[in-house]
Chain A
Amino acid sequence: MNGLHLFLDFGATILTVIASITPIVVFFIVFQLIYLKLPWRYLARMFVGIALAVGGIALFLQGVKAGFTPAGNEIGIALGQITQKWLLIPFGLLMGFLVAFGEPAVRVLGDQVESASGGSIKKNIVVYGISVSVSLFVGLGMARIVFGIPLNYIVIPGYLLAIALLFVTDKTTVSIAFDSGGVATGPMAVTFLLAVAVGITSSIGGRDPVADGFGLIALIALAPILFIMLAGLFIKIKLKRRGDNDGNG
């Protein structure tokens, strides 16, 4: 098992995660001492939770790094060698959905939206909305790799469309849409999907794998922003039409 060593640097991973959360925890402790003065029992529970989350995310990251990334790279290299390049697009559609579906932060956002809305916006709507939109844009990202379309041709019109949609969408949908863009790009996308993309571009050849691979994250971040605002707009128009019909008769 020469791949085993990849799992053995878990110590380094957990140290990185601990380092990443330390500043905010220190900040919290200062706040606790000066202002919050929360009861000790409550604090103890909170710190157990933080420790669980740190251990959990370290395991998750290590699993993705040591297990998913090498497999992703193999898949990418194999896909780059197939003669019918258009097959990359349906593959991108599938992988985009599955990657967003497995992203931990997407679940956390879904939970928070469901509880803040008192259950009227279901968690699954958020999770599926993000996954479907990421699916479409990873498909688009694959098309970009196949046809060599510059990133700017997609991202700049996308950003302009996002600005335009802002003014015709209600603010709750806007907030959730932009937050979704932030959570869609988690460790699954950034490490696993990027490994697939880099594998593809390196075996297609003639392209700069780094530059091609990069834009994928930008596309994944943009996807739910556009899709969720469009969906919100669609629902608004539909409700309005139904309302008008009710009013008329």
Chain B
Amino acid sequence: MLKELRNVTFEVLQAILPITIAVIALNVLFIRMPLVVLLQFIFGALMVMCGMILFLLGVRLGILPMGEALGSELPRRKFLPYILAIAFLIGFSVTVAEPDVMVLSDQVHTISNGGIPNTLLVAVIAIGVGFFIAMSILRISLGFSIKYLLAAGYAIIIILSFFAPEQFIPVAFDSGGVTTGPVTVPVILALGLGFTSVLGGRSKLGDGFGLIGLASIGPVIGIMLLGVILY
């Protein structure tokens, strides 16, 4: 445990010090920030480092085992539609309360001049993620390639982008990125790896990954569809 703490601390310093030094250097060399802002930044950087150490330790100790336990239990339920329903619920529940989704829904609320209620948007995003998590599980169970799902998803996005109202496009594209936040990522990663680890004849490396990539497609399609349907 102590050795792990040391490793994680070292890793976090390596991750956060470069950007901290770069911002301070920028400040010294040619941007004179107000002193308060600079002090705030240094204090913030310390918080970020402490936070990331705790987070990485906690992910290894708690969040990954939770996702893996869920993932490796799923294949033991023999009935495929039931497995898919559970996978959908997992995708839905990790997304529905993600803070970035709330921020995004406020932005959409603004661009639609209040035409799209926040709860509708949050529901659409969470359903989008849930649907693609279920699809990923279906894909791993039946053994067809992830390429078809990704190609189909991206093709739908491109087609929809020609029909969706212009102001929806940047927000829709951004939504795919923001919905997979730091809490969602380890849960979904471990879910996929746990699921493949108990299925016979699947490689963890080849089949266990890709869920996050697929999950990012759902919200993009969801928001564009909303734009097409409502406008």
Contacts and interface: CB of A to CB of B under 8 A. Distances in A.
A116 B208 contact: yes
Contact of A53 (B37, B54, B69, B208): B54
B210 A63 contact: no
A71 B205 CA distance: 40
Interface of B: 11, 15-16, 18-19, 22-23, 26-27, 30-31, 33-34, 36-66, 69-70, 73, 76-77, 89-90, 93-94, 96-100, 102, 107, 145-147, 150-151, 154-155, 157-158, 161, 167, 169-171, 173-174, 176-178, 180-183, 185-187, 189-190, 193, 203-216
A151 B169 contact: yes
A102 B52 CA distance: 9
Given A64-B48, A159-B154, A45 B61 contact: yes
Contacts of B158: 156, 159-160
A17 B99 contact: yes
A148 interface: no
Interface of A: 1-3, 6-7, 16-17, 19-28, 31-32, 35-36, 38, 42, 45-64, 66-68, 70-71, 74-75, 78-79, 94-95, 98-99, 101-102, 104-105, 107-109, 111-113, 116-117, 121, 151-152, 155-156, 159-160, 162-163, 166-167, 171-172, 174-190, 210-211, 214-215, 217-218, 220-221, 225
Contacts of A31: 69-70, 73
Nearest to A120: B205
Nearest to A187: B182
Contact of A174 (B19, B40, B53, B210): B210
B209 A116 contact: yes
B219 to A, nearest CB: 11
Nearest 10 Cβ contacts at the A-B interface: A67-B44, A49-B62, A178-B213, A53-B58, A49-B61, A56-B54, A59-B51, A63-B47, A52-B58, A56-B55
A183 B174 contact: no
Nearest to B94: A24
Contacts of B169: 151-152
Contacts of A32: 69
A177 B181 CA distance: 17
Given A20-B183, A108-B59, A190-B178, A60 B31 contact: no
A49 to B, nearest CB: 2
A119 to B, nearest CB: 11
Contacts of A19: 97
A56 B57 CA distance: 9
B167 to A, nearest CB: 8
A3 B23 CA distance: 18
Contacts of A3: 36-37, 39-40
Contact of B189 (A22, A99, A108, A162): A108
Nearest to B155: A163
B216 A22 contact: no
A56 B62 CA distance: 13
B189 A16 contact: no
A121 B205 CA distance: 10
Nearest to A69: B44
Contacts of B19: 95, 98-99, 101-102, 188
A217 B58 contact: no
A182 B216 contact: yes
B177 A166 contact: no
Contacts of A53: 54-55, 57-59, 61-63, 183, 186
A123 B188 CA distance: 19
Contacts of A109: 185, 189, 212
A52 B46 contact: no
Given A23-B93, A218-B170, A117 B205 contact: yes
